Structure 1
Amino acid sequence: MCHFFANQDPDSYAFETRSLRLNGQSTSIRLEKIFWQRLEAIAEQFGVKLPRFISSLHQEILLLRGEVPNFTSHLRCICIVAQEDSRLDRREAKRAA
């Protein structure tokens, strides 16, 4: 098991900072590259570019909660939830087949 984690490409967990606009304000978000890659894939599934996807997520949580205490953590959690959902979808498809 340790080899699985130890052999991971260090570039995948290197930080990358990206600048974008959220609700008209310029900001920057710092995430590990692997999360940026996953967010780009999720945005593509929704047919939008990553900045628009992230801005929509930010707007949704503002409307729901009224504040965004740790948006970068929220983005990481979205990646994990999306990964779990896709696994569940594949399992259900296999059972149905």
Structure 2
Amino acid sequence: MCEVYSSTPRNLYESTTRSVRLHGFVTSVRLENEFWTILEELSASQGLSVPQFISEIHDEVLARQGEVHNLASLLRVCCARYIERRQNPPSAVAI
């Protein structure tokens, strides 16, 4: 069972740091390369660049919850939820 996971190419779980501008300030976000790839797909599906998506999700969480405790963790969870929704799309509600 673990062979599927243990054979993961190293480049997918190596980390990359990217800079993002949030409210005029530059911040760095460090994520594994696989998450950057998913964020690129997720952002494109929203018609946004990755920095635009990160800025928007940051601002939405800030508005709803008052602060963003851990931006990198938030982005990883966004990726997981995106994959989950892609595999199990929400059913349409009849009106």
TM-score (norm 2): 0.91
Match in the other structure for 1:7? 7
Structure 2 residue aligned with 1:61: 61
List runs of 5+ in structure 1 lacking aligned partners: 93-97
Q: When the two structures are aligned, how many residues end up with a matched partner?
A: 91
- 1:48 deviation in Å? 0.9
The aligned residue for residue 45 of structure 1 is 45
Question: 1:89 offset after TM fit, Å?
Answer: 2.2
Cα displacement string for residues 3-52 of structure 1 (whole angstroms, at most 9, x for unaligned residues): 10111001000010001101111110000000000001000001111100
- Return the alpha-carbon distance in structure 2 between the equivalents of residues 20 and 78 of structure 1: 17
1:19 aligns with 19
Q: Which structure is higher in helix share?
A: 1
Structure 2 gaps, min length 5: none
The amino acid across from 1:81 in the alignment is R
**Superposed structure 1 runs of 4+ greater than 3 Å apart:** none
Distance 2:47 2:68 in 1: 25
Q: Matches of 1:44 and 1:53 in 2, distance apart?
A: 9
Aligned-CA RMSD value: 1.3
